[in-house]
């Protein structure tokens, strides 16, 4: 039996890469999935036993985000599962960081995540699940990515607090924390950079988006029914040993 049959899921930032893999996997497991992106071509497609509904939404715009969740409520009545994946990672050292870089990164990675979670949990029934996409960057000090790492540390802190606040409603909140993953972002880097990063991973390779999707599915489904406030690294051991 499909693990997410009859569930309504929202994947904020679900157009491609990790978010796209999560949206497709959830639909393949029977869910009706609303996948948002600023670049999405709005359409509904059957995807295995489920349905993937692509919606064009700028997650950094609170008005657009609110209107989207109201539309989901009108169509489906509730949100059983929320995944927040929308985020950006831009290089800036302490010497080079600008106010615009800080505001843009925290605006999408933290502020949008907070208000997406607030809107979704307002229409989430008891027993729902929230999966926040963090990063091992919140634990390690990668040169040039201090602001990004700080946003992911904030995601981890939010998960702990919200898990505590939402426990009386039996809503679980967890984090899936990818390490280097072979997405379009890494496709653009040099071979030398890829080799350097891969050399830091005990398993000797980058992760795949579908591997992160599998971890997100576990946290979203009843298979993890006694897990909340946790962080599940999907990093080949990079930040673990």
Residues annotated as catalytic (active site), given as ranges: 148
Return the H-helix or E-strand segment holding 114: helix 113-122
CB 33 within 8 A of CB 26: yes
Compute CA 204 distance to the chain's CA centroid, rounded to the nearest angstrom: 24
Question: Alpha carbon of 103 to those of 87, 91, 94, 118, 141: distances in Å?
Answer: 13, 14, 15, 20, 20
For 31: left if phi > 0, alpha if psi spans -120 to 50, otherwise beta; the answer is: beta
Residues 123 and 72 sit within 8 Å (Cβ to Cβ): yes
DSSP 170: T
208 backbone dihedrals φ, ψ, rounded to 5°:
-110, 150
Q: What is the Cα–Cα distance from 216 to 83, expressed in whole angstroms?
A: 8
CA dihedral 106, 107, 111, 113 (to 10 degrees): -90
94 vs 111: CA distance, rounded Å? 21
């Amino acid at each position: 039996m499909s693990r997410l049959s009859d569930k309504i899921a929202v994947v904020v930032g679900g157009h491609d890469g990790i978010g796209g893999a999560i949206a497709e996997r959830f639909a393949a497991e029977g869910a009706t999935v609303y996948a948002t992106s600023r670049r999405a071509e709005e359409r509904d497609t059957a995807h295995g036993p489920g349905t993937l509904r692509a919606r064009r939404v700028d997650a950094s715009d609170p008005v657009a985000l609110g209107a989207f969740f109201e539309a989901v409520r009108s169509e489906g009545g509730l949100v059983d599962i929320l995944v927040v994946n929308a985020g950006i990672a831009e290089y800036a050292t302490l010497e080079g960081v600008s106010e615009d870089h800080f505001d843009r990164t925290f605006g999408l990675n933290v502020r949008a995540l907070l208000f997406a979670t607030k809107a979704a949990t307002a229409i989430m029934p008891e027993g729902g699940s929230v999966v926040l996409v963090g990063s091992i960057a919140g634990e390690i000090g990668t040169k040039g990515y201090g602001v990004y790492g700080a946003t992911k540390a904030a995601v981890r802190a939010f998960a702990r607090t919200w898990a505590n606040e939402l426990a009386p409603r039996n809503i679980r909140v967890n984090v899936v924390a990818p390490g280097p993953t072979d997405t379009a972002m890494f496709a653009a880097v040099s071979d030398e950079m890829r080799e350097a990063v891969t050399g830091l991973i005990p398993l000797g390779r980058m992760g795949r988006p579908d591997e992160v999707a599998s971890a997100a599915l576990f946290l979203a489904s009843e298979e993890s029914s006694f897990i909340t406030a946790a962080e599940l690294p999907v990093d080949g051991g990079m930040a673990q040993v």
